Chain A
Amino acid sequence: MSLSDVGNLMCLPFDEIEPGEPTEVHEYLIQAAANQLGPQGRNWIPLVVKEIAPDQYQVIGNTFIYAVAAEADLAEVWCIIADDAPETVAITQALAQETAPKTNLSTASRSEISAALDYLLSQPSSPLKGVSHASLVARLDAAPRQYWKNLQPITKLGCRITAGKKLKALEQIFYLTPEPMPEVITDRQLLESLSTQQLKAMAQKRDIKGLSKLKKADLVNLLVA
C-alpha cells in the first residue's frame, strides 16, 4: 500500500493548514455559513490542500471553506490531499470556480472563442461594453491568430477593442502558443496584418525589384502571387 496521502480525505487540525489565495466573497456569505456550521460542525465539502512540509498543508482549492472554518473556529477541517503539481492547482481552482480557465486562442475553435467571449460579455461590469459578440467572433475566427505573439493584433480588427482595459479583459480568458511564421507567406489576410516595412523586407528576400514606390496593397498583391 502506498504511504502517500494524496487523494485521501482526511480530518486535519485547522492550525496545520496555511491559507492559500484569499477569497474575495462578501463577508455576509462567510458569516452566515459559519453560523450554520457551528463550532462542532462538519464541513461536508472538503478543502483541497497540498502538503508543503510534514504536518504542514496549504490550501489550493475551496478557499471559501477555509474562510468559513476560520470564522466558525473549527478545530478540525475535512480536507482532500492533492499533489503539488502546478496543473493540479490550476484544475482544482478551475473546478472550484476560483479562476476562470483560459482558452488557447492560437488553436481554439470558433465555438470555443464564442463561448469564452460570451462569458466575458455576460459579466456584470464587463469592460467590453459596446462590443458586438458576433462581429468579434467572426473576425477573431478568421484572423491568422496561430501566429500572434500577443493579443495586440485584436486592436486592429475594428471591433472597438483598444489596448488598455478591454485588451486586459481579454487576457483573462485567452492565452497564446504561437507558431513560428512560415518562411514564405502567401495568405492574403496574414500579409495584410503585417506592416509595410515587414512586407518590403519579405519582398527583398524573394529578390523582387523596384519596391520603393509600392504601396502596401500593391506589396500584398505582389506577395500573394
Chain B
Amino acid sequence: MNLEQILQDLPLDAAEVVVEGNFSRAFLKALGFGDLEMVPGFKVGKLAVDHAVRKNTENDIFLHTQTKPYLYMEVKGRSENLGDEHHPDYRKAALQLKRYLLDPSSASVQWGILTNSLHVQLFRKHGKVVHPVTPCLPLGKDVNRIAKEIKQRIETPQRALMIAVYNNKGGVGKTTTTLNLAATLALLKKRVLIIDFDPNQSDLSDALNLQPLKGRILDVLKSKESTIREIITTYKFEHPRLKQPWGFDIILADEDLVTELSEIKVKQQVKFNALRRALESVQNDYDYILIDAPPNWRIFAQKAVCAADVVLIPARHDNLHSLQNAGTAITQFIPEAQAKRREVGDSGPIALPIFMNNAFRPTGPAIQLMHQAIATIIKETRKKTGGFDLKPYFYPKSRKGHENLKMISIPYMAYISRADFMHMPAAFAFKPAREQYLNLVKEYFL
C-alpha cells in the first residue's frame, strides 16, 4: 500500500501504537530500509527507542545482530503537537530523541527522525551535537516527496559540522576561540577548516601571521563552480620536538571587502546561501568547518550564520552587553537566519549554549552580579517574545528540580594572550591552555 493511502486511513486521533504499527514502518521502508533492517523497541541504555534501522551487509543482518544502529526513529501519537517548535510536546519529544542519540551506546547512530504521522523532522548527530536538518515538515499529500527528500539526505551525509562563532558584541574573543578550537580539534586528529570572515579586522589571519587575500573570496562566492579549494591555505605549527607538524586549513580574510562600497556590492552580488554552497564542495574533506564571524548583524555576520549548522556564542561574564547581545542573537538573529534557510528546505542553524570566555574563578560578587543580570535577561526575553526560554542556553546543565548555574567557560589565562603576541594558537603552544580548550571541545563537540 502506498504511503499516502496509509496516511489517509489513519484515524484522526491515532494513538502512538497505531502510528507505530501502520505508518512509521511504511515510512522507514520508503526511506529504503527492509524488514530485516529494522528493530522495533530498540534498547538504548535503560530505555528503548521506537525504531532503530541500519542497512544490512552480507553476513550481518541488523534484525539478528542488533549492533551498530544507524538511524533512530521516535514516534508519537497524533494528539501530540510536533508542528510547532515552541510547543511543550515538541520540545519534550525532541529532547527525548536527543537523549537516545547521545546515549553512550548510540555511538554509531548518525540520524534521528521524529514523527507523529502529521509532521516529520530529521535530525543529524555529529559527535555530541544534535541539530535539526529539516524543519518540522507537514505530511499529508506531500508524504512521498518528503520521504524521498529525507532518503536523499541520509544517503548523502555531509562529513563536516559547520560552526559559526558569533556574538553581536565585539571583543568577546571570537577569533581566539575559533583559532584555539581549531588547534585543539586538530590535535585530536580531526580535520579542520577555519574561515576568517571578518575582512574589517582580519584578526585571524593576523594572529597566525598570514597575509590576507586580495579580492578572491568575492569571486568564489559569486561563482557557481566550486573554486573554493584554490583559496585554502594550510597553517602548520612546527617545532623541533614534533615529528610531524600540527595544523589545519584556513581561508584567509579578503582585504578587498573592507570598504563601505564593497558591502553594498557584496549584498548585490552574493546570495544569502553562497557561502554554504561554496563550502559544499569541500565539506567532505573536513570534520569541522569553523567560521569566524564579525560582530554586528551585518552582511558578513549574516552570511556566516546562514551558512552554519550551529552557532557558538562566546560572551564575557563581566560585560552586560555581551550577555544581552548573546540573548538577542538567539531570539532574533538566528531565527532570521533559520527563516532564510527554510526557503531552501533546511532547518537552519541552532544556537549552542553560550560559553563564558575569559572568566575569572567562580567566586565573588562579580559572579553573583552576572547571575542576576542573566536572570533579568531571561525574564525580559520571556516577556518580550511570549515565552522564549533562554535558560538552557545560559545554563545547559540545569535540570527539572535541579538549579545548576554552571556555565561552560574558559578561564582568564595569561597564556592565551601571550600566544597571540607570538602569532600562534595558545592550544598549540601551552599545555594548560590546551587542556582548557580540550575541556570546551569535549563539552560541546566530542
List A residues at the B interface (Cβ < 8 Å): 109-111, 114, 118, 122, 132-135, 137-139
CB-contact partner of B435 in A110, A118, A134, under 8 A: A134
Q: Is the CB of B406 within 8 A of A135?
A: no
Supposing A118-B406, A132-B432 touch, asked if A137 and B439 sit within 8 A by C-beta, the answer is yes
CB-contact partner of B104 in A109, A133, A137, A138, under 8 A: A109
Q: Is the CB of B439 within 8 A of A134?
A: yes
Mark contacts of B165-203 with chain A using CB atoms, 8 A cut-off: 1 yes-contact digit, 0 otherwise.
000000000000000000000000000000000000000
Q: Is the CB of B104 within 8 A of A134?
A: no
Residues of A within 8 A of B328 (CB): none
| B contact residues, range | 10 to 19
Residues of B within 8 A of A114 (CB): 439
CA distance A27 to B406 in the complex (A): 31
Residues of A within 8 A of B432 (CB): 132, 134-135
Residues of A within 8 A of B438 (CB): 134, 138
CA distance A132 to B362 in the complex (A): 12
Residues of A within 8 A of B104 (CB): 109
Query: Ordered nearest first, which 7 A-B pairs have the shortest CB separation?
Result: A134-B439, A138-B435, A135-B435, A134-B436, A134-B435, A138-B438, A135-B432
Q: Is the CB of A138 within 8 A of B406?
A: no
Residues of A within 8 A of B406 (CB): 118
Residue of B nearest to A121 (CB): B362
Residue with the highest number of chain B CB atoms closer than 10 Å, among A109, A132, A134: A134
CA distance A89 to B439 in the complex (A): 35
CA distance A110 to B440 in the complex (A): 12
Residue of B nearest to A158 (CB): B431
| B388-427, CB < 8 A from A | 406, 411
Can you list 24 A-B pairs, Cβ within 8 angstroms, ordered by A? A109-B104, A110-B442, A111-B442, A114-B439, A118-B406, A132-B432, A132-B435, A132-B436, A133-B439, A134-B411, A134-B432, A134-B435, A134-B436, A134-B438, A134-B439, A135-B431, A135-B432, A135-B435, A135-B436, A137-B439, A138-B435, A138-B438, A138-B439, A139-B435
Residues of A within 8 A of B362 (CB): 122
CA distance A180 to B347 in the complex (A): 50
Residues of A within 8 A of B439 (CB): 114, 133-134, 137-138
Chain A interface, DSSP helix/strand/loop, else mixed? helix
Residues of B within 8 A of A110 (CB): 442
Residue with the highest number of chain B CB atoms closer than 10 Å, among A109, A111, A138, A139: A138
Residue of A nearest to B432 (CB): A135
Residues of A within 8 A of B435 (CB): 132, 134-135, 137-139
Mark contacts of B349-363 with chain A using CB atoms, 8 A cut-off: 1 yes-contact digit, 0 otherwise.
000000000000010
Residues of B within 8 A of A138 (CB): 435, 438-439
Residue of A nearest to B413 (CB): A132
B353 CB → nearest A CB, Å: 15
Residue of A nearest to B442 (CB): A110
CA distance A132 to B432 in the complex (A): 8
Residue of A nearest to B410 (CB): A134
CA distance A137 to B432 in the complex (A): 12
A215 CB → nearest B CB, Å: 17
Residue of A nearest to B446 (CB): A110
Residues of B within 8 A of A109 (CB): 104
CA distance A138 to B442 in the complex (A): 10
| Given A110-B442, A114-B439: 13 more A-B contacts, CB < 8 Å | A111-B442, A118-B406, A132-B432, A132-B436, A134-B432, A134-B436, A134-B439, A135-B431, A135-B432, A135-B435, A137-B439, A138-B435, A139-B435
CA distance A135 to B104 in the complex (A): 24
Residue with the highest number of chain B CB atoms closer than 10 Å, among A109, A118, A132, A139: A132
Residues of B within 8 A of A139 (CB): 435
CA distance A138 to B104 in the complex (A): 19
Residues of B within 8 A of A137 (CB): 435, 439
CA distance A133 to B435 in the complex (A): 9
B433 CB → nearest A CB, Å: 9
CA distance A139 to B439 in the complex (A): 11
Residues of B within 8 A of A111 (CB): 442
Residue of B nearest to A109 (CB): B104
Residues of B within 8 A of A134 (CB): 411, 432, 435-436, 438-439
Residues of A within 8 A of B436 (CB): 132, 134-135
A137 CB → nearest B CB, Å: 6
CA distance A132 to B433 in the complex (A): 11
A6 CB → nearest B CB, Å: 25
CA distance A118 to B408 in the complex (A): 12
Residue of B nearest to A137 (CB): B439
Residues of A within 8 A of B431 (CB): 135
